[in-house]
């Protein structure tokens, strides 16, 4: 067990070091030597976990897709909101997530060493949103005209665009606000009116989700059979159209 724990720690150290170097220099300019120095590991240890620089980059990209366990919510659309706000929070505070986003967007054809193809994470984001929307549809939370796959592509593309603009304009300092604005515009066009007032889009939503991660309790059945969850402390209004 101790050996396995050390191996996991070594792998995480390598990923974090690689993320920092990729974030600062980009894929093409990053070197294995600098990653080794940052991680404080031997070349043999690195190649035990990652066969190449490309495989290491793919490992960094894959890491962003794991948002961890989150408390279940009364509606699937709240879970959709939570995914977006938590990802924005991680882009602000987690170098691994920032580096993975940079790698996913690094498609420069003029680079000396172009980044590996990044279609996988984009499709993974779309698939995740699509599944949440399909679950919301099954529970009667979506308007009849909504096609989950189309909406998933729209939301993934819009998020990618606004985070990129936020990064250029202010190093993503206003990203949470921009994501909230995006959701305030999209949700009224896809959600049934009764769901909109229940959605919590407060700026501190991600922090509260993270603090609740270690205190996840089973849902309690309220009278009438509806699963009960604590009411959100604050909400940002989403106007029905």
Give the burial class of 62: count Cβ atoms within 10 A of its Cβ; 0-12 exposed, 13-18 middle, 19 or more buried.
middle
- CATH class label, 2-63: mainly alpha
Q: Architecture of 76-228 per CATH? A: Orthogonal Bundle (1.10)
Pairwise CA distance, residues 121 & 112, whole Å:
23
Give CA separation, 46 vs 64, 95, 96, 113, 144, in Å.
20, 19, 17, 20, 51
pLDDT one-digit tens code per residue, 130-168: 999 999 999 999 999 999 999 999 999 999 999 999 999
Percent of the chain clearing pLDDT 70 (strictly above):
78
CB atoms within 10 A of CB 55: 12
Q: What is the pLDDT of residue 12?
A: 86
Averaged pLDDT for residues 23-32: 84
Q: What is the pLDDT of residue 232?
A: 43
* Model confidence band, residue 41 (pLDDT cutoffs 50, 70, 90): very high
Q: Are the beta carbons of 209 and 67 closer than 8 angstroms? A: no
CB atoms within 10 A of CB 206: 21
Indicate whether 199 pLDDT > 90: yes
Query: 142: which strand partners?
Result: 191
pLDDT one-digit tens code per residue, 99-129: 777 777 765 444 445 555 555 667 878 998 9
Domain coordinates in residue numbering, the chain: 2-63, 76-228
Averaged pLDDT for residues 4-10: 83
- Range with the poorest average pLDDT among 35-39, 45-49, 91-95: 91-95
């Amino acid at each position: 067990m101790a050996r396995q724990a050390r191996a996991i720690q070594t792998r995480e150290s390598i990923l974090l070091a690689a993320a920092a170097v990729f974030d600062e220099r980009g894929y093409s300019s990053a070197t294995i030597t600098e990653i080794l120095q940052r991680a404080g590991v031997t070349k043999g240890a690195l190649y035990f976990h990652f066969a190449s620089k490309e495989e290491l980059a793919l490992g960094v990209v894959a890491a962003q897709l794991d948002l961890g366990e989150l408390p279940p919510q009364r509606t699937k659309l709240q879970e959709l909101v939570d995914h977006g706000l938590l990802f924005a929070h991680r882009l602000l505070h987690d170098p691994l997530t920032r580096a993975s986003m940079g790698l996913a967007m690094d498609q420069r054809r003029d680079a000396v060493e172009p980044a590996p193809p990044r279609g996988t994470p984009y499709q993974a984001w779309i698939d995740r949103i699509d599944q949440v929307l399909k679950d919301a549809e099954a529970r009667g939370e979506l308007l009849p005209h909504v096609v989950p796959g189309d909406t998933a592509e729209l939301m993934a593309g819009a998020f990618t665009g606004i985070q990129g603009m936020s990064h250029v304009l202010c190093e993503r300092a206003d990203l949470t606000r921009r994501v909230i604005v995006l959701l305030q515009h999209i949700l009224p066009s896809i959600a049934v009116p009764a769901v909109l007032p229940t959605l919590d889009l407060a700026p501190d939503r991600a922090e509260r989700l993270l603090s609740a991660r270690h205190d996840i309790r089973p849902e309690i059945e309220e009278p009438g059979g509806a699963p009960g969850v604590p009411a959100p402390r604050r909400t940002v209004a989403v106007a029905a159209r």
